[in-house]
Structure 1
Amino acid sequence: MDRLIYTALSGMNASMERQRVIASNMANAQTVGFRAELIDQRPVTVDGETLDVRAMQRAQVRGATMSAGEMIRTGHELDLFIQGDALMAVQAMDGTEAYTRRADLSISPTGALVNGEGRPVLGEAGPITVPLGAKVAIAPDGVVSVSDPAVPDQPPVEVGRIKLAGWQGSPIAKGLDGLFRVEGGGVLPADAEASVITGALEQSNVKPTEVLVEMIDAQRLFDMRSKLIATARDCDQSGAQLLRLG
């Protein structure tokens, strides 16, 4: 009976992890630039000379759905919609380079260009900063320029270019902070062909109706696996009764 119980228990743990991912996707259905997480479930056996008597199940997030979300017009000059599959480079909490599709940009009190999560936007020479009070404009190729409202006749001055990186062909993984990173370390190369649309944002690519169906399916699978443990208990009790009769 222990084989059945342990197998069912590992399946229940995998179902709980799947439900956590589904709940996270549902909670971020309205988050700008969010990519729906994908969970990988696979059987795991113990290597050795003996026969495989149990096949446990392991579930973990291994990637995300990279399809684009819907574009919505906002009219805000610092809102960007990244065209194509490129990712925008930002600085993570640990100071490393990470990537995201969230590009609802603003200027921090210190003059840093940040996105909606407060991550500093990276350029070719590090985080991009602008003078406080200056008018900021972003070109389709990601070039950030500033001008002084007090002297409108002066031409804009370029302060940096947002790094738009291409990830095709590079193994990337999504972290718990929602940012993408290169597996094993390293950085992605800049995509010179990538461009942005100002005054627009990318919505989450999560489809609420599909997520609801997945949630119901995951709950039913969890219930089925819990019933296996109840069945194992009943079989064990029946066997014990037969032994007492003997």
Structure 2
Amino acid sequence: MDKLAYTSVNAMKSLMNRQTAIANNMANSNTVGFKADMVSAKSQYLNGPGHDSRAMAVERPMQADMNSGSVTQTGRSMDIALEGDAMIAVQAADGKEAYSRRGDLRIAASGAMVTGDGFPVMGAGGPITMPPAERVDIGADGTVFFVPQGGDPTQPQELDRIKLVSMTGSAISKGPDALFRAANDGVLPVDDNARVISGALEESNVNMTAALVDMIETSRAWETQAKLLRTAQELDESSAGVMSMPQ
């Protein structure tokens, strides 16, 4: 009966991870540029001596639904929505380069240009730092223009260009911080053809109706595995009773 018990426990573990991903998606249904988490797994036989009679679910690295969310016009000069599969290069918490679709940019108190969740935006030579400015605009190719304090509003100055990359043909994975990373800590090259829409934001691509349905299905699957686990226990107790010696 141990095969049934361990198989059910393994399935319940996978269902827990799936439920966690669904809950995270629902919590981020209004997060700018958020891409819904996707949990996938494959079956793999246990390695060891004897016949491979037991297959377990082995989860793959976290993936995401890369379909675009709806674009909303905001009119804010530092809001950008990325076209196609373009991504913004940012500096992750560990100092390494990562990628995001979040375009609600702002200037932090330190002068650094950061995304809405606080990650520094990368430019041609590293994180972009903004001097005191009265206005900041971002061109269609990611070029950052600013008007210095007391400067002529009709004569904006070019500061830097946001590093925009394309994920086409590259192996990337999504991390717990909602940032994307290239395989083996790689760095994606600049995509000169990448374009952004200024004064607009890409909304989350989470479908709340589908997420609710998935949550119900996952809960029912959990109940099924829990019943199998109880059945395995009952069978084990019955077998032990049959095998016991009479007093």
The equivalent residue for 1:99 is: 99
Find the aligned partners of 2:37 and 2:92 in 1 and give their Cα distance. 19
Find the aligned partners of 2:20 and 2:229 in 1 and give their Cα distance. 22
The equivalent residue for 1:179 is: 179
Find the aligned partners of 2:167 and 2:195 in 1 and give their Cα distance. 15
The secondary structure found in structure 1 opposite 2:109 is coil
User: What one-letter code is carried by the residue in structure 2 that aligns with 1:148?
Assistant: P
Deviation at 1:208, TM superposition (A): 0.3
Q: Deviations over 1:162-221 (max 9, x none)?
A: 011011111001111110000101111111111111111000000000001111111111
Give the TM-score of the pair, scaled to structure 1. Answer: 0.95
Deviation at 1:49, TM superposition (A): 4.6
Matches within 5 A, 1:219-238: 219-238=219-238
Deviates more, 1:141-150 or 1:225-234: 141-150
The secondary structure found in structure 1 opposite 2:231 is helix
Give the TM-score of the pair, scaled to structure 2. Answer: 0.94
Q: 1:91 to 1:153 in 2, by over 3 A?
A: closer
Let me know the Cα RMSD of the aligned residues: 1.6
User: In percent, how many aligned pairs have the same letter?
Assistant: 44
Find the aligned partners of 2:240 and 2:110 in 1 and give their Cα distance. 73
Alpha-carbon contact 1:10-1:58 (below 8 Å) kept: no
The alignment of Structure 1 onto Structure 2 pairs a total of residues equal to: 246
Is 1:108 paired with 2:103? no
Deviates more, 1:229-238 or 1:66-75: 229-238
The secondary structure found in structure 1 opposite 2:159 is strand
Q: 1:239 to 1:114 in 2, by over 3 A?
A: same
The equivalent residue for 1:32 is: 32
The equivalent residue for 2:125 is: 125
Find the aligned partners of 2:33 and 2:167 in 1 and give their Cα distance. 16
Q: 1:154 to 1:205 in 2, by over 3 A?
A: closer
Q: Which runs of 5+ in 1 are unaligned?
A: none
Deviation at 1:152, TM superposition (A): 1.5
Q: 1:15 to 1:153 in 2, by over 3 A?
A: closer
Alpha-carbon contact 1:79-1:201 (below 8 Å) kept: yes
Deviation at 1:149, TM superposition (A): 4.8
The secondary structure found in structure 1 opposite 2:185 is coil
Q: 1:22 to 1:232 in 2, by over 3 A?
A: same
The secondary structure found in structure 1 opposite 2:7 is helix
Q: Which runs of 5+ in 2 are unaligned?
A: none
